[in-house]
Amino acid sequence: MTVPSEVTASSGSTEDLVADHVLEFPGGYTRTTGPVIGRFLTELRDGRIVGVRTADGRTLVPPLEYDPQTGEAVTGEFTEVGPAGTVESWSWVNEPRAAHPLDRPFAWALIRLDGADTSLVHAVDAGDARAMRPGLRVRPRWKTSRSGHITDIESFVPEVTKIVSPVRMEYRVRPGRALARFLEGVARGVFLGCRCGSCHKVYVPYRLSCPQCGVAISEEVELPDTGTITTFAINNLPDPRAPQVPFVSAYILLDGSDIPMIALVGDVPAHEVRQGMRVRAVWVPEEERTASMSNIKWFAPTGEPDAEL
């Protein structure tokens, strides 16, 4: 970039000279609107936004008396547009001035109202600059008392596209015969499994048929409450059953069983949990037990050396 020499020469002495001016017509300045702008403002006063058709069928919003593309007079045919529209571009105003429509940070935006072929400049009360984006859907927020002025629309506001709704389900589970039998065991502090008479695999929780052989199972096996962690996951979202966040849920192979069961792991920092870790169930006190898995708070390390997997 080249700098003219006279600017360079004078900049040292004139840079600090500043004079503030205000150009204002304090009482306002009366002008007639003409039929096209007049119609637009009258409709605004009545809570509607209209555009005007051009000879080639486009809709100008705000309406103009002449088509800026062709210079031809518009048709005089008005059509209601919006009131919702889409933000095309914007400029964020961090420090509103006294004459601005809002006294908090807002955006001046180019808004293409639905049905319009041109865009209108207006304020968008988005709360935060990060809420602004091209394509943001907005709607006018009207003043309750209107006079036929563009400020009859106080500002545009984003459409509601997201709500937080509480989710709650209440349901009752009736265990089948197998689960009922397993929970009877849990109620007295033991894990009940079963052994398949055909493949000799031991399953826990207790079940009535072998998933591999398909045969009915009749041999019940009482398993100890110790086992080995085979795989685990560290969870970073809170769970009412878990001791803290992060917490660990793991597949635990109870001693004597061939199929791991899923349970929480507690009394150990999440990052210390590992595959092969030996664990024992931590039961709630006997007087608090019911026929439910909540009898087992979690599995805690036993301190034994890790098992080979």
Contact 132, 92 (CB under 8 A): yes
In the block, which residue shows the tokens 């708070």? 297
Q: Which residues contact 266 (CB under 8 A, 6 or more apart)?
A: 242, 243, 247, 248, 282, 297, 298, 299, 300
Closest approach, Cβ 276 to Zn ion, in A, equals 27
Q: Which is nearer to Zn ion, 127 or 197 (CB)?
A: 197
Given phi > 0 = left and psi -120 to 50 = alpha, else beta, which region is 57? Answer: left
Q: Which is nearer to Zn ion, 33 or 212 (CB)?
A: 212
Q: What one-letter code names the amino acid at 304?
A: E
Find the binder of Zn ion among 132, 196, 277, 281 (CB under 5 A): 196
Q: How many residues bind Zn ion (CB under 5 A)?
A: 6
Residues 199-238 that bind Zn ion (CB under 5 A): 199, 210, 212-213
Closest approach, Cβ 253 to Zn ion, in A, equals 17
- Cβ atoms < 10 Å from Cβ of 107: 24
Residues 84-103 that bind Zn ion (CB under 5 A): none
Classify the C-alpha dihedral 120-126-129-130 as positive or negative.
negative
CA nearest neighbour of 276 among 232, 309, 234: 309
Q: Which is nearer to Zn ion, 132 or 194 (CB)?
A: 194
Segment interacting with Zn ion, rule: CB under 5 A, options 30-38, 88-96, 195-203, 264-272: 195-203
Q: Which is nearer to Zn ion, 40 or 203 (CB)?
A: 203
CA gap 40, 53 in Å, rounded: 13
Q: Which is nearer to Zn ion, 186 or 217 (CB)?
A: 217
Classify the C-alpha dihedral 239-242-248-250 as positive or negative.
negative
Q: Which is nearer to Zn ion, 50 or 210 (CB)?
A: 210
Closest approach, Cβ 159 to Zn ion, in A, equals 59
Residue 69 near Zn ion by CB under 5 A:
no
Closest approach, Cβ 204 to Zn ion, in A, equals 14
Tell how strand 153-158 and strand 202-203 pair up.
Answer: unpaired
Segment interacting with Zn ion, rule: CB under 5 A, options 88-96, 197-205, 251-259, 292-300: 197-205
Closest approach, Cβ 254 to Zn ion, in A, equals 18
Length of the chain, in residues: 309
Residues 162-191 that bind Zn ion (CB under 5 A): none
- Say which DSSP state 103 is in: S
Closest approach, Cβ 280 to Zn ion, in A, equals 28
- Say which DSSP state 26 is in: T
Helix, strand, coil abundance in the chain, percent, nearest 5: 15, 30, 55
Q: Which is nearer to Zn ion, 198 or 292 (CB)?
A: 198
Q: Which residues bind Zn ion (CB under 5 A)?
A: 196, 198-199, 210, 212-213
